[in-house]
Structure 1
Amino acid sequence: MLNEGWDVLNLFDIVRLYETRDGKNGKPGKTTISEAQLIGRGARYCPFKIEDDQPRNKRKYDYDVTNENRILETLLYHSMQDSRYISELRYELKQTGLLADAPMEINYILKDEFKQSDFFREAYVFSNRKVEKSKKSVMGIDKKMRNGFYQYKVSSGSSFIYGLFDEEKINTNSFINTSRYKFKKIPLNITEAAMANFEILKFNTLKSYFPNLKSKREFLHSDNCLGNITLQIESPYEKLQAKGLYNGTMKILKEIASYIQKIETEYEGTKEFYAKRIHEVLKDKKTYIDNTHGDGVGVSQAMIVSEDSMDLAFEPWYVYNDNYGTGEEKAFVKYFKGIFKDLRSKYDEIYFVRNERIPALAIYEFDTGERFEPDFLLFLQKKGTDGYLQEQIYIEPKGSHLLGKDKWKENFLLKIEEQGIPTKTYVDDNKYRIIGLPFFNREYKMEEFDINLKFETGSEK
């Protein structure tokens, strides 16, 4: 099944029942390459989701090392203990990108001082949810489909006479009767009988796509659905037989069923942002990083050799023990250290969180439901007489080469303060603000970011 590319919904083991190998001079042979491709197909099959916002057919736990659900995506490949073969197979898996070349384990550890703080135990972090777009406004099928024109030719069973001395043939039955029908004029017993052949055209299923639909008859006869579709039948018979009408109806319904199957569920992000306790979201994390190089991903900020080097273990505002992010992310952390003193004069609590993806705090674009995991969260808290004001700011450093591609993320961030609504399940005396900032980018957007951050935090000098 794997060779044919079939979907294998529950695959956990592949067993190699032969010992031959065709590699030469340490290089994999055709068989080994084929087996590496087979493993790749098996490893990609993960047709499940545990959380509503997870993609169904995509690996989810490759970097979440401590998550018990990793077993659902673990594929075991069994073979004889042949060191040469295993070496060749590992080489080929690395070539295809399925096996990391030199994975390095990284631990993100929350500082003890932060875990012992009242903020960690009692404060909230906010995120919105991905939900299906309402279909209440959907009144029927697509306009192009509802005004469609279909042709069906009834098999004539004609015979031909061939001349003895030439190749010309003469059709002995050249009569053609052409009839046109609006779908709503086709007898209901014919259309309902044809409709019964398609699982997706059963009423309960149709209702999930078209919530305003009241009956099968409405689907077949309404101009918003199939009623206005035209069926043209060409027949050699003077009087059209019911079978021809039925077959023409089947041709239309086959197209309609295919169209409905391709309708994708549309999503949106809620404007409401829901609260969770900080200690329920922020935890110690472990992940694997491969191909570390230079000052980028996987390299400790304390170990890099550049102006952005700093030991975060001694910075009380940074909640984790270190930062292993991109060069742009490290530059932002260094920038933040420069403005910390000014923020400290205005806020009682300041905490800066690397939103590591294992698991990350995700937010969802309001119009499309597209998932987005901002790199950093900045928490600012100011105490008052009747509680406190907490500000949660999403921040995304972005390399220059990604500014255009990820522009939608920046547009979303800038809509959050105006449209996002922080909600809680019970009333308290505290006030909450949720804010998104423009991208942080040293090359093109430094001034814009600096002005926005200082404006939002009231830290203009």
Structure 2
Amino acid sequence: MSKRKKSKQLPLPLYDELKGLDESLFNEEVAWSTPNYITENLIHTFRYYQSTALRFFHYSQVGKEFRYRNINHVLFNMATGSGKTDLMAGLILYLFHEYGYQNFLFLVNTNGVLNKTIDNLTNRSSDKYLYTEKIEIEGNRIEIQKINSFPKNQSKNTIYLKLATVQSVASDIYTQKENSMGEEDYAKNKVVILGDEAHHFSASTKTEKETEQSWEKAISTILNAREDNRLLEFTATIDLENKNIYEKYKDKVLYRYTLDRFIQDKYSKNVKRIQSSNTDIDNMLNVVLLSEYRRRYALEKHKTYIKPVVMFKSQRIDASNEANEKFNDLIDTLTVASLKEFLNRQAQIVTDEDSETLALANQYYRENHENLSEIVRDIKREFAPSRIINANDTSQSGILEKGHYEALNSLESPTNLYRVVFAVAKLTEGWDVLNLYDIVRLSDDPKVSGTKATTMSEAQLIGRGARYNPFLLNGERSYQRRFEDDSVESLILETIHYHTINEPQYLKNLVDSLNEMNLPTGKDTKNPLLDVKVKSGFKKTNVWKYGKVYYNKTIEVSDDYYSSLDKYGVDNKSDIVIPYISSMQELGYRDGEIREDYSNAYNLTVVFDQRYLFKVMNRISFYHFNNLKKYIPLLRTREEFLGENWLNIYNRTVYVTVPRTMGSDALTPNEKLHILERYFLKIAKQIKSGYSKKRGTGEFIGYPIKEYISNYRKRVPNYDTSKMVLDGNPQNVQRYEIKEDYFVYDSAIINLTERQLIDKIAERIPELKEKYEDVYLIRMDENMHRESAKNHKLKLHQFGHGHDEIHLEGFQPDFILYLKNADYFVQIFIEPKGRNIEEEQWKEDLLTYINEHEAEIIFEDETEDVKIKGVKFYTMNDERSTIKQIGEIALGKEFKGLSVEEI
């Protein structure tokens, strides 16, 4: 395979400036996080990178650095499938609430994406609608109206959304027609343009041939119709190597989240290639057997139903239609005898070295030879002509514009029975099918080898198909991969396979195209399981024979436990004090948020009657009784919630902190209502985060090391594309041998961040041994639990009170530093972290909580003096001073000679 040249990283000044601001302690907005009015009104929870993208946009609008620059045109460069439309939905609410924008123009270049987005943002009955059924902001119901023209008289609390193709909007701009929107209409009220798949809008820039009536010119006309119009562009594909595109966007790229990062963060399927010299017919039967194996594996091993979809990709429509007919004939004539013959033949030619996944599927059918008649019946049913979509089209139109739009856009639905798609054109932008597991590139014509343009189209197809399928597992859905990469579970349920023709020039072009997209893939050959063994020398020590590692016990929580609001962390005894910001202050759209001076403030008593309370509870859906009852099982009526046993609001005084400029009689009824809403929204958040069915306790149990620390086996993920990012990535996993006695295993399969941590601790071993007879670093790899004597997953859980967020699932810190002398034993949990720090902050909070709440910790076995400790996340170059903290815990002082970055 050809090696990829490292492309030069071009500077992006705006993005670099925002990254610097995000890391600066002097940024006034550094504590800003995604507001509740966004998180509570969206169906999906923002992922860390979506929150970061929104935060960067917020900085660009309110930061003092941008006060005189009017950042009105930005671009979000985010991977296919990473949730750009979710981010758009959040940005709409942000711009509406913070800056009063009511008019939003969504632009795209195909009807397919347009139809999908109409469902996403306006169709409440669609499974893909992104907002909650009722949108509420500060107690007000917000309506989203799909319109063709922005109304002259605009209603309060209404968002107007015009969704259109860029072709139609440009036509309206250039050729004035009745009932169409011209330039002057975009000057009447401020407008936000949301440009999806924005790489299509820069054709003029790309060619240096700006035409008077180009799409690009039309968009620019709308943006410049008034100073406060905004243009937010979104694309996964931006050709910054083109000097004209780079010059246009270098100061507009606000955030980047690349495809390889998306895959490494486990938000997508893995991608594997199966390279075959088989005939198309044999490839068809192989993929049918593999697809059906996926369905059966999920059902038999995990008691869950998935419907894996196969796409057959051709170069020409006539070849695709012919392949469709051959496929129908293959399924129609399949018999037990012909299947046995095929399996026997495949056993001779398909091994783990050719394709691990196909070998697993074939092995399954050979082991179930007694059930082949049932299997053949199932295949004939599952792959019947009635379950095939022939979506052949021209490359200009796009499959979503054909008659199969509904079927193609709902392939994940339980009522949609289609299993196969035949198509020529690439997966068009906007087709976000999640349960596509196999793409088969048919040979069509032996004389045709993929050109660079063809293979780039196919690489984009693979990238779109890699979106993760959030199938049910143990009654729960996840939007990240749940199994260890390269495990059988992940290969079958979390990997998309691209079945390619085995033609050298085609494969070279395909790999080059995958590299250009930063799409990590590898051949579907079996990566060997690497053995990680406990050192024989360690097994001779008393630590191995008698030592323990400690984790806290969990208990079930009954409904009876939640007998009062203090069990949720809610104070219902003290008087209520609510800071209030005057809504009467006038400000401009660039002023960001209203800031009142409370240095000269006082607490004003708020007098209200029961009508206010019931109105607030009616406005906020959390307090509708059916919902409230889910979180407070013992509650009998909604009125009871206000009483002495719960919120106790009638026996408490409500104060509002206001500036001296506001007199005691200044509060109107609406302002009183607003004040109470703020308080009730805060209480709702506390109740939701405080309710759970299972909780950790402060009781720690010692688990014998010799029973829970054991030999295990693990694979190292193997990629042969997207090397540029992977090579410099702290998450790139490799095997390292560690001969020194302090490490209990003979090796570790770890990333660079973890390796750096091990090396830094290794430097401190002599100093630790001055105080402790036994000093060991234990890698707590979850793989070892599969091999351990009791197959028991050890996890650390939240306990006690005062956590900002409640997380029930617990987690396994990656390392334990085991320190023991004649007087006591110290166990320090250490968790290295390369990314997702914000998203997983609760884990670090738990580790530091342990140190601050030693009095809450008790031990099942009190025969020795045990100390359980935790430290902040270890990040690259020890940016959080974790090593310094370890020294303070272990030695009561800093390590000698700490380097600058460790201090």
After TM superposition, the score normalised by the length of structure 2 is 0.31
Deviation at 1:293, TM superposition (A): 2.9
Q: 1:332 to 1:217 in 2, by over 3 A?
A: closer
Match of 2:462 among 36, 54, 67: 36
After TM superposition, the score normalised by the length of structure 1 is 0.55
Alignment correspondent of 1:62? 484
SS of residue paired to 2:481: coil
Alignment correspondent of 2:709? 282
Alignment correspondent of 1:381? 820
Alignment correspondent of 1:10? 305
How do 1:146-295 and structure 2 match up within 5 A? 207-214=629-636, 266=690, 270-283=697-710, 284-289=712-717, 293=727
Match of 2:747 among 315, 322, 337: 322
Deviation at 1:377, TM superposition (A): 0.9
Deviation at 1:35, TM superposition (A): 5.3
1:232-260 deviation line (CA, Å, top 9, x unaligned): xxxxxxxxxxxxxxxxxxxxxxxxxxxx9
SS of residue paired to 1:120: helix
CA distance in 1, matches of 2:496, 2:839: 37
8 Å CA contact retained: 1:374, 1:395: yes
SS of residue paired to 1:434: strand
Q: 1:219 to 1:383 in 2, by over 3 A?
A: closer
Match of 1:437 among 854, 857, 871: 871
Alignment correspondent of 1:151? none
Q: Does 1:25 align with 2:445?
A: no
Alignment correspondent of 2:853? 419
1:200-252 deviation line (CA, Å, top 9, x unaligned): 9897x764322231258968999979xxxxxxxxxxxxxxxxxxxxxxxxxxx
The one of the two structures with greater contact order (alpha-carbon pairs below 8 A, sep at least 6) is: 1
1:100-153 deviation line (CA, Å, top 9, x unaligned): 35897655333233346553354322234788997443499xx9xxxxxxxxxx
Q: 1:437 to 1:418 in 2, by over 3 A?
A: same
Match of 2:493 among 43, 50, 73: 73
Alignment correspondent of 1:251? none
Match of 2:472 among 44, 47, 53: 47
Deviation at 1:454, TM superposition (A): 4.3
Higher alpha-carbon deviation: 341-350 or 129-138: 129-138
Deviation at 1:352, TM superposition (A): 0.7
1:154-198 deviation line (CA, Å, top 9, x unaligned): xxxxxxxxxxxxxxxxxxxxxxxxxxx97999xxxxxxxxxxxx9
Alignment correspondent of 2:521? 100
CA distance in 1, matches of 2:551, 2:477: 19
Deviation at 1:60, TM superposition (A): 1.0
Deviation at 1:379, TM superposition (A): 1.0
Alignment correspondent of 1:298? 733
Alignment correspondent of 1:242? none
CA distance in 2, matches of 1:17, 1:444: 50
8 Å CA contact retained: 1:378, 1:392: yes
CA distance in 1, matches of 2:482, 2:763: 37
Alignment correspondent of 1:392? 827
Higher alpha-carbon deviation: 375-384 or 12-21: 12-21
CA distance in 2, matches of 1:184, 1:446: 48
SS of residue paired to 2:715: strand
CA distance in 1, matches of 2:895, 2:452: 63
How do 1:311-350 and structure 2 match up within 5 A? 312-313=738-739, 315-350=740-775
Alignment correspondent of 1:304? none
Higher helix residue share: 2
* Structure 1 unaligned residues grouped into runs of 5+: 144-180, 186-197, 226-259, 302-310
* Structure 2 unaligned residues grouped into runs of 5+: 1-80, 82-111, 121-126, 129-294, 296-303, 315-319, 321-423, 427-449, 569-575, 577-609, 615-620, 649-683, 786-792, 898-903
CA distance in 2, matches of 1:460, 1:78: 54
Deviation at 1:430, TM superposition (A): 2.8
CA distance in 2, matches of 1:224, 1:286: 52
Match of 2:538 among 102, 114, 128: 114
Q: 1:456 to 1:73 in 2, by over 3 A?
A: farther
CA-atom RMSD in angstroms: 5.8
Match of 2:796 among 359, 363, 379: 363
8 Å CA contact retained: 1:36, 1:89: no
Amino acid at match of 1:415: Y
Amino acid at match of 1:432: V
CA distance in 2, matches of 1:362, 1:98: 33
Deviation at 1:378, TM superposition (A): 0.8
SS of residue paired to 1:335: helix
8 Å CA contact retained: 1:124, 1:277: yes
Deviation at 1:28, TM superposition (A): 4.3
SS of residue paired to 1:363: coil
Question: Aligned residues, how many?
Answer: 357
Alignment correspondent of 2:86? none
1:347-393 deviation line (CA, Å, top 9, x unaligned): 34322112335478543455124555534211123356xxxx33211
CA distance in 2, matches of 1:356, 1:453: 24
CA distance in 2, matches of 1:363, 1:38: 37
Return the index of the structure with the highest Cα Rg: 1
CA distance in 2, matches of 1:380, 1:458: 16
Deviation at 1:270, TM superposition (A): 4.1
Report percent identity of matched pairs: 19
Q: 1:74 to 1:323 in 2, by over 3 A?
A: closer
8 Å CA contact retained: 2:452, 2:513: no
Q: 1:71 to 1:445 in 2, by over 3 A?
A: closer
Alignment correspondent of 1:165? none
